[in-house]
Amino acid sequence: MQLVLPSGLSAAAFDRALQQFRSIVGEDWVFATDHDRDSYLDHFGFDQAAHVGSAAVAPQTTEEVQAIVRIANEHKIPLWPISRGKNFGYGSAAPVMSGSIVLDMSRMKKIKMDIENGTVLLEPGVGFYDLFDYVEENDIPYWISPPGNAWGSVVGNALDRGVGYTPYGDHAARLCGMEVVLPDGDLVRTGMGAMTDSPSWNMHPYGFGPGWDQMFIQSNFGIVTKAGMWLMPKPETIVSLDMELDRADDLGWAIDTLAPMRRSGLLQQSPSIGNWLRAAAVLTNRTDWYDGLGALPDSVIDAIRAQFGLGWWSVNLRFYGYEEVTTAMAEKVKSIFASRTSYEMKQGIWRDGDPRELQPFAGVPITFPLQNASWHGGRGAHVGFSPALPQSGDAALAQFRRTFDRYNEFGMDYHGSFALAERHITNVNQVLFNKDDPDMVDRVDRFFRSLVNDASEQGYGEYRAHIEYMDLIADTYDFNNHALRRLNERIKDTLDPNGVLSPGKSGIWPANYQNERG
Amino acid sequence: MQLVLPSGLSAAAFDRALQQFRSIVGEDWVFATDHDRDSYLDHFGFDQAAHVGSAAVAPQTTEEVQAIVRIANEHKIPLWPISRGKNFGYGSAAPVMSGSIVLDMSRMKKIKMDIENGTVLLEPGVGFYDLFDYVEENDIPYWISPPGNAWGSVVGNALDRGVGYTPYGDHAARLCGMEVVLPDGDLVRTGMGAMTDSPSWNMHPYGFGPGWDQMFIQSNFGIVTKAGMWLMPKPETIVSLDMELDRADDLGWAIDTLAPMRRSGLLQQSPSIGNWLRAAAVLTNRTDWYDGLGALPDSVIDAIRAQFGLGWWSVNLRFYGYEEVTTAMAEKVKSIFASRTSYEMKQGIWRDGDPRELQPFAGVPITFPLQNASWHGGRGAHVGFSPALPQSGDAALAQFRRTFDRYNEFGMDYHGSFALAERHITNVNQVLFNKDDPDMVDRVDRFFRSLVNDASEQGYGEYRAHIEYMDLIADTYDFNNHALRRLNERIKDTLDPNGVLSPGKSGIWPANYQNERG
């Protein structure tokens, strides 16, 4: 991609800034060629040209991040910090606002583990594979909680409220204490880290006074250069219960059966109820099944289900801990289900010492689900649509039907799941498409906007948004004429008067770029 | 108490403000006599005269709170919002800065329960007894999580990071979505509440973008007028395991045995290991045992333990849920302990339908532990000292010995407990004293300061502070020359340019009262 500069920035100032960056991080770690810019695009998005960084700079230390931020203020150049830039379906490494300089922290890879307490202090460049290797090589009795595709950063994923499949799957909730470079270059540590050399930094989640950690999540108020996280003690066993639900309408009673178990803690992790396309899109391509236009007909759905032995929905439950306890939990769950359905629950058990299952459930990072981007052929792409719903079978079923009809209307293949968090459902839709098909790209955009509109009419908000749609989503959070946006932007302008940090992130725009709001 | 006005405020402006308040809330709900001021003092503190509100105003609605805040800005009068003002050991209803007008929200008592999802939207005036009554009278299958003394506000307790004894004992962590009046009178709803009429307001804990909830905790950034909380599903059983530890040094191995169980979730709640004075101070007075000066001698400690059948420490574990599961958990815990000690574990079981135990463990509010304030005779008083420690037996034992020596040095009776949260220990010290004894009052102040100093040398910070010591505690959070304070006070000055909201709360002072910092 050719160079695009942010409005109001001269080429001379940009060049001077790059020169200063080079003096900080070294010649090798400033990237500003057309080819460099290409590598920081959103390769899975559908309008790459709308989100082009002007350059990238890759520091290795917190001090370098501070120095870069100060230079950015000097020239009023916007930065777009990324951890590893793998935010699949939500924008990858690309900035909301073209011309931003990507601040690439993938070289910052320090891991500091407290084995006794199972806490780890991580830099943003540490990937799930890095942490997995570290834990395994050092025989540390804790497990990581990888997301479905584990190519990204552990900290970056948590900062975007990414989720996993173990009892530690709400990654943002397992953050404990951060080191943050503020937009003016000042350095703050949150929670107990605000006390010099506190041994409790990554143990007590709040410290004294207001709790800042969640304020640096999905925001542009600071650059997280270190974050404490809690790891899950290695369980003695994992008991598994897997069930296939034959009919689409089974979603309703299944949710009403699972939700009380989730609330009471009988289910420790967030089960995800997903449809037949989950497996098919990873293991096959659409042309293996169907060449027609429009959404897949029922006959094809039946064929896919038969091939992989799937229900309309699949439910996978996992219980972690001592065998006496996990077995008792699973038996209780089976007995509750037995009173409501004759569907079979397949039970299994993994015991410490058995080979690890290559699954996020088992704390093992995998990336093969990325294959689903290729479902339609061409250059595969993907955008995530994920509203939060109440835990009600009726609400979930209505949301499914409404959404399913929209998929059909726009000729898209349904790829949805309903994950039961402790008190809400996240309805994750992975909208797969071929970005070499201009008609499909156009349809996906209109489809996505109709999904957002449908959801917001129900009062359902997305928990996370693609960079292209951050303003659209933020617009739906409209209570008291957008009071939350007013509050966020007051804080933004106080902490970042030059608007140098991630303008537009989560729909939060600094004063100097208000005209860029989409 | 006689009227004290904040520096810079004229009596005429004060009177005008009160008149305006009366027009908002009615004549009956503005309190400004000497007697009124007395009723908002910290009756359990030791320097009441240092923290005297000038008046109180008691609104009944959010709109009234907004109107009051706007009037306070007009006259630049500081407000000190309280929920019910029962913050035992931390300042009761009294403000940090004398002359502040207490904003008393104890009339705001609305309860909105979502029975299906077990979430409740509460106003600050709702007390634990109110909520308990509401749940019981409506036969709602959820339990509340009361603190040790349950006379206070449910929301107020959570906003001060108060704790309880059930699996929902980290009350701040069970908050989900708030309505907040900002210092300029604007009204914001956090999380999913930022979407108009979202049904997920009190279910999804974050919403979109930065998460604000924890920012309104222990802070002076806004007045929480409604807060969503999660309640615990009523368990089928509670299995109890109680153990008495004979020697003070048993604390070390007990913590090292319990901590891994707490981390793994085998223990669902935070067990508190407390000493012999817990029971004695509630059920008897010191003069029943001893008339001498100085800390209680060993012979008296032995007599107390013999009378109540106590160890040096007591440990109480509780398991909540289906009988098959709670029993399996308790058996596992017993077998782990059996490998390390010959102390007996007394086991019990409560089943749904049995009479409820009158204990916070069982979700039942009680207040009789308040009796402990009378331990020394005279007008009883109390101050809490509660540093957060790593979960290490060695660290806990060293902290105990260091603190115990200080109790002896200052002639105070040891009243300490070690509560195992998920990853840290809160070492709660209830410093009981007689405020009619000037020598004791003087000793307590010096004692408290030495405890804070000792703890901070270890890097241990208090999780909560009495209004008298908020600056002292905030001073110990000193990383990068008090970077967190700089950040907090930038936010404070942005949101509250007139400094009208709780100046000095948690050591956060607005620009116009910087000279008041203690």
Query: What one-character-per-residue DSSP string does B349-370 give?
Result: EEEBTBPPPSSGGGT----GGG
Global pTM reads: 0.98
Q: Extract the residue ranges of chain B whose pLDDT is less than 70.
A: none
Rounded to a whole number of angstroms, the distance from the CA of B1 to the nearest CA of chain A is: 30
Which residues in chain B have their CB less than 8 angstroms from residue A491's CB? 491, 494
Q: Tell me, what's the pLDDT at A274?
A: 97
Rounded to a whole number of angstroms, the distance from the CA of A232 to the nearest CA of chain B is: 7
Which residues in chain A have their CB less than 8 angstroms from residue B363's CB? none
A1 has a pLDDT exceeding 90: no
Q: Tell me, what's the pLDDT at A89?
A: 87
Question: Does the beta-carbon distance from A329 to B325 stay under 8 Å?
Answer: yes
Which residue on chain A is closest to B214 by alpha carbon? A211
Question: Does the beta-carbon distance from B198 to A459 stay under 8 Å?
Answer: yes
Closest CA relative to residue B169, chosen from B367, B295, B317: B317
Mutating which of A142, A160, A197, A198 best tests the B interface, going by the most B Cβ atoms within 10 A?
A198
Where does CATH 3.40.462.10 sit in chain B? 237-464
A394 touches chain B (CB under 8 A): no
Q: Which CATH class is domain B471-516?
A: mainly alpha
Closest CA relative to residue A363, chosen from A136, A181, A200: A136
User: Of A116, A422, A462, which is closest to B208 when you measure between CB atoms?
Assistant: A462
Q: Tell me, what's the pLDDT at B88?
A: 85
A119 has a pLDDT exceeding 90: yes
Which residue on chain A is closest to B394 by alpha carbon? A116
A247 catalytic per annotation? no
B205 touches chain A (CB under 8 A): yes
Where does CATH 1.10.45.10 sit in chain B? 471-516
Q: Tell me, what's the pLDDT at B470?
A: 98
Which residues in chain B have their CB less than 8 angstroms from residue A184's CB? none
Q: Tell me, what's the pLDDT at A45?
A: 84
Question: Does the beta-carbon distance from A391 to B116 stay under 8 Å?
Answer: yes
pLDDT digits over A193-216, tens only?
A: 999 999 999 999 999 999 999 999
For residues B371 and B283, the answer to whether their CB atoms sit within 8 Å is yes
Per-residue three-class SS string for A112-126: EEECCCCEEEECCCC
Question: Does the beta-carbon distance from A479 to B188 stay under 8 Å?
Answer: yes
Per-residue three-class SS string for B92-161: CCCCCCCCCEEEECCCCCCEEEECCCCEEEECCCCEHHHHHHHHHHCCCCEECCCCCCCCCEHHHHHHCC
d(CA B502, CA B97): 8
Mutating which of A219, A325, A467 best tests the B interface, going by the most B Cβ atoms within 10 A?
A325
Question: Does the beta-carbon distance from B211 to A206 stay under 8 Å?
Answer: no
Question: Does the beta-carbon distance from A210 to B215 stay under 8 Å?
Answer: yes
B517 touches chain A (CB under 8 A): no
Q: Tell me, what's the pLDDT at B192?
A: 98
Q: Tell me, what's the pLDDT at B395?
A: 97
User: Of B328, B392, B508, which is closest to A328 when you measure between CB atoms?
Assistant: B328
d(CA A58, CA A25): 7
Rounded to a whole number of angstroms, the distance from the CA of A327 to the nearest CA of chain B is: 9
Q: Tell me, what's the pLDDT at A64?
A: 98
Which residues in chain B have their CB less than 8 angstroms from residue A190's CB? 484
Mean pLDDT of A481-501: 98
Q: Tell me, what's the pLDDT at B45?
A: 84
A162 touches chain B (CB under 8 A): no
What are residue A314's DSSP bridge partners? A244, A274
Rounded to a whole number of angstroms, the distance from the CA of B292 to the nearest CA of chain A is: 38
User: Of B187, B328, B424, which is closest to A200 when you measure between CB atoms?
Assistant: B424
pLDDT digits over A364-376, tens only?
A: 999 999 999 999 9
Q: State which CATH number among 3.40.50.1470, 3.30.70.20, 1.10.1030.10, 3.40.462.10 fits the domain covering B237-464.
A: 3.40.462.10
Out of A90, A407, A460, A469, pick the active-site residue.
Answer: A90
List Cβ neighbours of B212 (8 Å cut-off, separation of 6 or more): A214, A215, A484, A487, B178, B180, B188, B190, B191
Question: Does the beta-carbon distance from B189 to A461 stay under 8 Å?
Answer: no
Closest CA relative to residue B86, chosen from B133, B129, B30, B44: B44
CATH number of the A111-233 domain: 3.30.465.10
d(CA B200, CA B121): 12
A266 touches chain B (CB under 8 A): yes
Rounded to a whole number of angstroms, the distance from the CA of B378 to the nearest CA of chain A is: 32
For residues B108 and B57, the answer to whether their CB atoms sit within 8 Å is no
A229 has a pLDDT exceeding 80: yes
| A and B: number of Cβ contacts within 8 A | 318
3-state secondary structure of B481: helix
Q: Tell me, what's the pLDDT at A93?
A: 96
> A325: which 2 tokens?
């306890």
Name the burial class of residue B363, with classes exposed (0-12), middle (13-18) and buried (19+) by CB atoms within 10 angstroms of its CB.
Answer: buried
A90 catalytic per annotation? yes
Q: Tell me, what's the pLDDT at B113?
A: 98
B199 touches chain A (CB under 8 A): yes
Q: State which CATH number among 3.90.1150.10, 3.40.50.720, 3.40.640.10, 3.30.43.10 fits the domain covering A11-104.
A: 3.30.43.10
In A33-72, the residues whose Cβ lies within 8 Å of chain B are none
Q: Tell me, what's the pLDDT at A159?
A: 98
d(CA A191, CA A350): 37
Q: Tell me, what's the pLDDT at A11?
A: 94
Mean pLDDT of A463-467: 96
pLDDT digits over A265-295, tens only?
A: 999 999 999 999 998 999 999 999 999 999 9
Question: Does the beta-carbon distance from A463 to B332 stay under 8 Å?
Answer: no
A141 touches chain B (CB under 8 A): no
- Arithmetic mean of pLDDT over chain A: 96
Q: Which residues of B are catalytic?
A: 90, 463-464
Rounded to a whole number of angstroms, the distance from the CA of B265 to the nearest CA of chain A is: 8
Question: Does the beta-carbon distance from A209 to B219 stay under 8 Å?
Answer: yes
A481 touches chain B (CB under 8 A): no
Residues in chain A: 518
Which residues in chain A have their CB less than 8 angstroms from residue B327's CB? 328
Rounded to a whole number of angstroms, the distance from the CA of B75 to the nearest CA of chain A is: 23
Which residues in chain A have their CB less than 8 angstroms from residue B188's CB? 479-480, 483-484, 486-487
Which residues in chain B have their CB less than 8 angstroms from residue A331's CB? 324
Question: What is each CA distance from B101 to A311, A473, B12, in whole angstroms?
Answer: 63, 40, 15
Closest CA relative to residue A207, chosen from A222, A224, A195: A195
Cα–chain-centroid distance for residue B81?
Answer: 16
pLDDT digits over A10-64, tens only?
A: 999 999 999 999 999 999 999 999 999 999 999 888 788 999 999 999 999 999 9
Question: Does the beta-carbon distance from B322 to A192 stay under 8 Å?
Answer: no
A115 touches chain B (CB under 8 A): no
Question: Does the beta-carbon distance from B210 to A200 stay under 8 Å?
Answer: no
**B367 CB-side CA count, 13 A:** 10
A449 catalytic per annotation? no
Question: Does the beta-carbon distance from A192 to B461 stay under 8 Å?
Answer: yes
A213 touches chain B (CB under 8 A): yes
B351 touches chain A (CB under 8 A): no
Where does CATH 3.30.43.10 sit in chain B? 11-104
Q: Tell me, what's the pLDDT at B505?
A: 98
Which residue on chain B is closest to A170 by alpha carbon? B205
